[in-house]
Amino acid sequence: MKYPIIAMTLLALSAASCGGRGVASDSSAQTDTVSPARQLSLRLDSVSRAGLVMFGHDDDPVYGHTWVGDSGRSDVLETAGDYPAVMNWDLGGIEKGDASNLDSVNFERMRAEVIAQDARGGVNAFSWHAVNPVDGQDSWQCADTTIVAQIIDNPEVAERFRNQIRLAARFIAGLTDASGKKIGVILRPWHEHTGAWFWWGSKQCTPDQYRHLWTETRRIMDEEGADNILWAYSPDRVKDIDEYLERYPGDEYVDIMGADVYHYGAEKGVDSYLAAVDATLGAATQAASEKGKLVAFTETGLEGIPMADWWTEVLLPAVSKYPAAYVVVWRNAHDKPGHFYAPWPGQESEASFKKFHDDPRTVFAREMNTIR
């Protein structure tokens, strides 16, 4: 049995530690109407304070290891009997006005699934593998180390960049539930920036340029009315809090201190994974406690899950040491047989995943209705 969570809304309204512009609804907090972003932040705070962690999966209901495009399916649901509490979606492609994202997920289907996830009490998060606004090459083309500089200094590039952000902002601001109310979501832009594999990476721009990228993104999103966002900052693995915060855009611009740390090398890689989680999620936790923010394990996973007990013996002990409100594993590609991060019926980590689901510390979609 998992412990039910008492609605902590009123208590949390006065005590919730998360603040800043992302939940800039101090005025609404004084009225009866709590903004969607504020409401989401209170729910994440409730989960974290209760010592629980929500499980999340990228692109969960739109394709799986052996299927694509079906309705009502999910590898997680078919394995553990429940949808994930958090679904991650990628906006990559929206900045070009494309109908589908870079992994062929149609944005209208995505919208419908976001609404469905919200209706079942779950949470939606967005990552964004955007093309660059200089020549439109994808996120991973990082040989040109002038992209962010050009966004700042070249008026034509700056205008293209603003248009890219506007397209994403309109999609997010337009996510509404059946009653027409905006759905609170998490946005995690310019992620893994401590690495050097995206055009916004550590070798591709200076700390000041990176901060500008972030604050300008935020400014445009606000201008477009995308106020239903909690902003997640998510460095890749770092050695300490100084590196974690080196490119931090500022307390006004961030709500969630995240960490993206993957497990490589199966059994042999366990120690180094745990050490990297400790360093990075530890830094996120320290920064969050100093700044009054939320903490999340924003991206992780072991590709192909070739360890039968990974969920219960590696991931759960690793994440349980920290007040992370959620942990997200990456996608189950239908067109790359070895590229999956959640199990499916018959996958070797299935039993461990079921135990992970049943563990009192984890939260999947069904239990989300107890979390206000």
Question: Which of 81, 89, 79 lies closest to 343 in space, CA to CA?
Answer: 79
Query: Smallest distance, Å, CB 58 to ligand BMA?
Result: 7
Query: Smallest distance, Å, CB 331 to ligand BMA?
Result: 5
Residues engaged in binding ligand BMA (CB under 6 A): 90, 102-103, 129, 330-331, 333
Q: Which is nearer to ligand BMA, 192 or 224 (CB)?
A: 192
Give the distance, in angstroms, between the CA of residue 79 and the centroid of all CA atoms in the same chain. 22
Q: Which is nearer to ligand BMA, 303 or 350 (CB)?
A: 303
Q: Which is nearer to ligand BMA, 43 or 331 (CB)?
A: 331
Measure the N-to-C terminal CA separation of the chain; round to a whole number of Å.
Answer: 19
Question: Which of 131, 133, 128 lies closest to 154 in space, CA to CA?
Answer: 133
Query: Smallest distance, Å, CB 22 to ligand BMA?
Result: 24
Query: Smallest distance, Å, CB 11 to ligand BMA?
Result: 38
Query: Smallest distance, Å, CB 90 to ligand BMA?
Result: 5
Query: Smallest distance, Å, CB 92 to ligand BMA?
Result: 6
Backbone angles phi, psi at 186, to 5 degrees: -105, 135
Please, what is the angle between helix 155-173 and helix 207-223, to 10°?
A: 50
Q: Which is nearer to ligand BMA, 67 or 355 (CB)?
A: 67
SS3 state of residue 185: strand
What tokens does 286 get? Answer: 């320290």
- Is the torsion defined by CA of 150, 151, 153, 155 positive or negative? positive
Q: Side-chain half-sphere of 137: how many Cα atoms within 13 Å?
A: 12
Strand 256-257 and strand 294-300: pairing? parallel
Q: Which amino acid is at 340?
A: F
Q: Can you tell me which residue has the tokens 């990476």?
A: 201
Query: Smallest distance, Å, CB 302 to ligand BMA?
Result: 13
Q: Which is nearer to ligand BMA, 37 or 105 (CB)?
A: 105
Q: Which amino acid is at 87?
A: M
Strand 86-90 and strand 123-127: pairing? parallel
Q: Which is nearer to ligand BMA, 83 or 340 (CB)?
A: 340
Q: Which is nearer to ligand BMA, 45 or 90 (CB)?
A: 90
